[in-house]
């Protein structure tokens, strides 16, 4: 379990925490837990999420288990500093959907003494690093990687396999569109999908060629 940094009360110090992993791994659940602890301590807390994320609620950060906390949807990372003025703690959910500016925003807030807690997917459905998440993890003081349970093997899952037939990088969805898979299960599924997508031309009848001449 993550425990908050011991604050040197003689000098205000900010930092960045990143919570990452695949879908259904409990990222938002852990983000909400940390933010509620800060609120209980009567710290000034603001929570932001990308305006594109409207799966559960327009103005709440909500986990798959229906835990929720009030949030402010913003269209771009540049909107966050203005709205986060005078905050002790800033929470950001679904950070992978933000533009690269989110990295500078988080570091600027931390440099001003704000505790910044960021949650987001580390990889997209193709298994590639997702958006600004690698740079956020690189500049964060604390990185927590959480895992789901593979729906096929029961092992730890770190990949978000897309069941829906779409190549769009951003496709909001739940269990109908995605499932968490282990490395082995993900590799087999992606290989199977690749084989299924191979285009095979219709069979053509080839006329026999007869030799002409003296023979």
Cα dihedral sign, 190-169-174-139: positive
Yes or no: say if 61 and 48 are a contact pair by the CB < 8 Å rule.
no
Whether the model clears a pTM of 0.75, i.e. scores above it, the answer is yes
* pLDDT tens figures, 37-94: 999 999 999 999 998 866 555 555 554 454 567 889 999 999 999 999 899 999 999 9
E-strand spans in 5-92? 15-21, 45-50, 60-62, 68-70, 72-74, 89-92
Closest CA to 178 of 188, 164, 191, 168: 164
Q: Which of 29, 94, 176, 179 is catalytic?
A: 94
Listed as ranges, residues in the chain with pLDDT below 70 are: 1-12, 53-68, 166-175, 200, 203-215
Q: Residue 105: helix, strand or coil by DSSP?
A: helix
Q: Give the phi and the psi of residue 136 in degrees, each rounded to 5.
A: -65, -40
Active site residue 94: yes
15-146 CATH: 3.40.50.300
């Amino acid at each position: 379990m993550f425990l908050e940094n011991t604050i040197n009360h003689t000098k205000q110090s900010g930092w960045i925490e990143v919570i990452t992993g695949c879908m259904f791994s409990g990222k938002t659940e852990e983000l909400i837990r940390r933010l509620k602890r800060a609120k209980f301590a009567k710290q000034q807390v603001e929570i932001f999420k990308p305006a594109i994320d409207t799966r559960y609620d327009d103005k709440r950060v909500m986990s798959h288990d229906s835990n929720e906390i009030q949030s402010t949807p913003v269209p771009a990372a540049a909107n966050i500093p203005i709205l986060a003025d005078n905050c002790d703690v800033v929470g950001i959910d679904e950070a992978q959907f933000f533009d690269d500016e989110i990295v500078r925003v988080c570091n600027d807030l931390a440099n001003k003494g704000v505790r910044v807690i960021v949650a987001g997917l580390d990889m997209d459905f193709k298994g590639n690093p997702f958006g600004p998440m690698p740079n956020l993890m690189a500049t964060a003081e604390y990185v927590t990687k959480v895992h789901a349970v593979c729906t096929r093997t029961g092992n730890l899952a770190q990949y978000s396999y897309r069941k829906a037939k779409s190549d769009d990088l951003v496709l909001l969805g739940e269990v109908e569109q995605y499932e968490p898979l282990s490395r082995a299960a993900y590799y087999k599924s992606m290989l199977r999908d690749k084989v299924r997508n191979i285009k095979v031309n219709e069979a053509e009848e080839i006329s026999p060629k007869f030799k002409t001449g003296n023979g």
